[in-house]
Chains A and B, each alone.
Chain A
Amino acid sequence: MSADPTRYDALVGALHEGSLTAAEADELAALARAQPELRRDLRRQLVLWELWAQQQAPERSAGSFLAACRTRLRAEAEGEGETFLAALHERQAHPALTPRRRWWTGPRALAWAAPLLAAAVVIAFWIAAPGPAQATTLTGEAICTVCMLQEGHEHHPVLRIQEGGTTRLCYLESDHPLHLEIGNYCTGPIQVDATGGLRSEHGRLILAVKALARHDTTAP
């Protein structure tokens, strides 16, 4: 960085504190525009402390955010409902515009179609069901989805695997409660070997755990 790092830090600090003046914002913008590494630093800082803020403020939690989204979506849908009702009233006022019901959309047709559809779905699942996955053993640190990754509300273990300078996450699932085998992965990473069938779903690695061994049995 060729800019005075102390000055840059002070400006970014003021930005975080919400006390940046217009003149200081222009100064920070000029520094960032001139130097790509400062631009990247600024972007990273904004990302990092936004993620931290989401965790710290209860009103900014994932659950609260989702609830707010649902409320706004419902408000939109109610608007659509009003439009639909308006259209319905319009049709009632002008019956000639009401579409004629077709035989395959009536309740009788549904009574026929429902069991046939259910059978077709069962057959499709049976045909599409994958064979047993080959057992794979992965070594890594078991960490918690909620406590460490801030994902969802249920505490599940994820294996963090470091390999060749890269880190990957593999979600662990099992018929048995994994916390009994791993220990308290909510309090910190626990080194384990996990063996089972590995698959990928929606870009996530998932290991259906068949066997699990802790490296350090004195961990919590």
Chain B
Amino acid sequence: MTLDDSDFDALVREHQAGLRAWIRALGAQDAWVDDLAQEAFLVAHRRRAEFVEGGNVGAWLRGIARHLVMNERRKDARRSRLLHASLADVLLDDATPGPAPREADLPLVVAAMNECVAGLPERSRELLRRRYAGEENASTLARALDMTAQAVRQTLVRVRATVKACVEGKVGEVWP
């Protein structure tokens, strides 16, 4: 595969969201997801000659990412960018770089997620937005929203479950 700068940009633009989600689902800590995904794209760029023209680019990238995460698993726990070893093992064992998550279906999941969040009460939307936009923790959110930290945690659990069920209802079995 020839891959000039514009091709590389297009490759990253098309696959970045799905690849990052895939890496997170392999057991990467949220703070290290982007780092690992960038490494995967750099490896892909370096090894572009090995890619078979007409092959599944997404599956190829996921294979590279899985390899990186498996290497990460072999590191000392203190230096690892993964979740706790037992959890990372379960997630890694369960993942194959094959067709899932399918790139074509990812926009459907994202659109469904946005619609489901838009349907939440304002306070729940605010909670979700602030939790992820500024990475405010339960204690900070509790102070800002006049709730207890425990109530924030419980509300987040409930809201996440509601959104996930709503997304599943909208997209069915198209996501892994």
> 3 closest pairs, A vs B, by CB?
A25-B84, A29-B86, A56-B132
B148 at interface by CB-CB < 8 Å? no
Closest to A66 in B: B12
Name 18 A/B residue pairs within 8 A (Cβ), A-sorted: A28-B87, A29-B84, A39-B94, A42-B91, A44-B175, A44-B176, A47-B176, A51-B106, A56-B129, A60-B34, A70-B9, A72-B42, A73-B45, A149-B111, A150-B107, A150-B110, A160-B111, A169-B108
Check if B90 sits within 8 Å of A62, measured CB to CB: no
| Chain B residues with CB below 8 A from A53, complex form | 30, 132
Would you call the interface of chain B mostly helix, strand, loop, or mixed? helix
Q: Which of A22, A69, A203 has the most CB of B within 10 A?
A: A69
Closest to B94 in A: A39
A24 to B172, CA, bound (A): 30
The digit string for A47-68, where 1 denotes a CB below 8 A from any CB of B, is 1111111111110101001101
| Chain B residues with CB below 8 A from A166, complex form | 174
Residues of B in contact with A (beta carbons under 8 Å apart): 8-9, 12-13, 16-17, 20-22, 24-25, 30, 33-34, 37-38, 41-42, 45-46, 83-84, 86-87, 89-91, 94-95, 101, 103-104, 106-111, 113-115, 117, 128-129, 132-135, 137-138, 153-154, 156-157, 160-161, 163-164, 167-168, 171-172, 174-176
| Chain A residues with CB below 8 A from B157, complex form | 9-10, 12-13
**Chain A contact residues (Cβ within 8 angstroms of B): what range?**
35 or more
B44 → chain A closest CB, angstroms: 10
Q: In the complex, how many residue pairs between chain A and chain B have their CB atoms under 8 Å apart? A: 171
The digit string for A154-190, where 1 denotes a CB below 8 A from any CB of B, is 0000101000011101000000000000000000000
A208 at interface by CB-CB < 8 Å? no
Would you call the interface of chain A mostly helix, strand, loop, or mixed? helix
A62 to B107, CA, bound (A): 14
